[in-house]
Amino acid sequence: MSPENSIRLDLLRSAPLDSWVALSHDESRIVAAGRNLNEVIEQTHAMGEQDPLILKTPSTWGPIFG
């Protein structure tokens, strides 16, 4: 796994389960998290984040095959 993918995976695993999560434009940190998409979008705009990557985390983490 590349270092970038490893960092992204660690970030996502640290995020709340079954939530919407916004990563910074460079995908180096979580800038917002919440139960609904609109809440996360509002948080990212309020922080001034220009181009976040918004994802939905799973309700549980399963094994990763690679």
pLDDT at residue 42 tops 60:
yes
26: domain range?
Answer: 3-56
* Number of structural domains in the chain: 1
Distances (CA, A) of 53 to 63, 65, 66: 23, 23, 23
Q: Name the pLDDT band for 38 (thresholds 50, 70, 90).
A: very high
Mean pLDDT of the 44-62 span: 92
At 61 the pLDDT is 81
The answer as to whether 63 is a domain residue is: no
| Angle in degrees, CA 26, 18, 38, rounded to 5 | 65
The answer as to whether 61 is a domain residue is: no
At 64 the pLDDT is 65
State how far the Cα of 66 lies from the Cα of 39, in Å rounded to an integer.
33
The answer as to whether 65 is a domain residue is: no
pLDDT at residue 54 tops 80:
yes
The answer as to whether 62 is a domain residue is: no
